[in-house]
Amino acid sequence: MTYTKPRMYLPFYAKLALVLVSLIALGYIFVLGKQILSPLLYSFLFAILLLPFASALEKKFKFPRSVAASLSIVLLILFVYLLFYFIGAQLSNLADDWPVFKQTFTSSLADFQHWISHRFHVNMAKQINYINKATSGLVSSSTTIIGETVLSVSSIVLFLVFVMIYTFFILFYRRLIIRFLIAVFREEHSVTVFDIVAQVQFIIRKYIVGLLLEMAIVSVACCIAFSIIGIKYAILLGFITGLFNIIPYIGIFTSLVLTTLITIGTAASTTTIVLVMATIGGMHLIDSNFLLPFIVGSKVKINAFITLLGVIIGEMIWGISGMFLSVPVIAICKIVFDRIESLKPWGLLLGDEKDETEPGKLRKETVNNETMKMEEPSLEQETLGKG
């Protein structure tokens, strides 16, 4: 006679209290552990992206795992270096023209003040008084601003160093991590764990590649459009538009403000400024309706409301870093929720309504054979530590 452990049923208010306490505890842990968790999550994403390259070096070229992981990190460092070198070269050109930019922007601001005075009947004295107060406050805190800037630059360098180190260790100990995940749960849940690991690995890799491809297309298109319009710093502004476009919804408005301000500072005409704003708006419409659904949308099935909410919460917890990480984290949560019976309603909430084949019925997602063939190394090898 087998003994079956009775299940404990909690009332709704008890479940609600447990959920709220868990959410508060998780939020506090994320805020408190930002310095560790933020680079660790970036390292996890980079490790998933570099895993096929490291696996190919191990299997095809018979490199030791440490050498394969090291070469993968070298490739990542080279990519980051080229990215920062390009940004630095473009910003140096802007810095050389800073006196002219400042003079032009001041003149444009004066014209704008006259327009406000004529349109809204706010005299120039009040406007100048307000600007002088803001300027004096900025000058008085200039030492603090410079100190914080230097500190932020050093923090970025230290952040990148830890990301590279964490990525190396995740690639090197990936089989140990998989065996740990299998051992943590009961044996009857091993198939579900396999499925979650395979889907997270596949979806996140395709999402990152799609996002980089989308950023490249938007950047090149904007650079060409800005060059045709004839504005200065067309390459820099096009790259800024493509980079900030990665952040859903909020990024396009940020790039619009920055691009417009820089264009105004280059003594551009009103027609040119309007054309620049129209280009960014039109590119956003094309990206949202064609590029994003075709390149990225097929990989991550998250509804727009949850995406926007995740970006806002990510910014509140981790700042700009949290905004970039919000969508991948939500995608991982959805994969986990969809494969655990008690959490399926939460997965339904995160997903898109049109993904469901029938109203009120959860669609069962499976990994096809072609997808599983693309995963290197295979899950069984990861679990048993072979290869």
28 within domain boundaries: no
Domain match, 277 and 376 both: yes
Domain match, 159 and 259 both: no
Domain match, 146 and 225 both: no
Whole-number pLDDT of residue 165? 94
pLDDT digits (tens, 9 = 90+) for 151-180: 456 677 888 899 999 999 999 999 999 889
SS3 378: coil
Domain match, 155 and 223 both: no
pLDDT digits (tens, 9 = 90+) for 264-323: 777 667 788 889 999 998 988 888 778 777 776 555 678 878 888 888 888 888 888 888
Rg (alpha carbons) of the chain, rounded to whole number: 25
Cα 199 vs. chain centroid, distance in angstroms? 19
Domain match, 200 and 59 both: no
179 within domain boundaries: no
Count of domains forming the chain: 2
Domain's final residue, options 147, 172, 197: 172
Per DSSP, 354 falls in state G
pLDDT digits (tens, 9 = 90+) for 50-100: 999 999 999 998 899 999 999 999 999 998 888 888 888 877 777 777 777
Domain match, 167 and 195 both: no
**Is a pLDDT exceeding 60 seen at residue 149?**
no
Domain match, 259 and 376 both: yes
19 within domain boundaries: no
Contact by Cβ (8 Å): 74, 53:
no
Domain's final residue, options 143, 172, 201: 172
11 within domain boundaries: no
2 within domain boundaries: no
**Is a pLDDT exceeding 70 seen at residue 330?**
yes
Distance CA 55, CA 374 (A): 11
pTM, full prediction:
0.75
Domain match, 271 and 386 both: yes
Domain extent, residue 51, equals 33-172
Range in 31-45, 110-124, 342-356, 371-385 with the lowest mean pLDDT: 371-385
Whole-number pLDDT of residue 145? 39
pLDDT digits (tens, 9 = 90+) for 343-363: 888 888 888 766 544 434 444
Domain match, 254 and 320 both: yes
Whole-number pLDDT of residue 34? 87
Domain match, 154 and 193 both: no
Higher pLDDT, 186 or 47: 47
Task: Give me the phi and psi of 348, to 5 degrees please.
Answer: -65, -40
97 within domain boundaries: yes
27 within domain boundaries: no
Distance CA 206, CA 287 (A): 18
Domain match, 198 and 333 both: yes
21 within domain boundaries: no
pLDDT digits (tens, 9 = 90+) for 109-140: 677 667 677 776 666 666 566 655 654 544 44
Highest mean pLDDT among 22-31, 65-74, 226-235, 342-351: 65-74
Distance CA 203, CA 367 (A): 11
Domain's final residue, options 172, 206, 238: 172
Residue/partner pairs of 331-339 with CB below 8 Å, 24 or more apart: 331/203, 331/204, 331/207, 331/300, 331/302, 332/200, 332/204, 334/301, 334/302, 335/196, 335/199, 335/200, 335/203, 336/196, 338/362, 338/365, 339/192, 339/195, 339/196, 339/199
Domain match, 257 and 368 both: yes
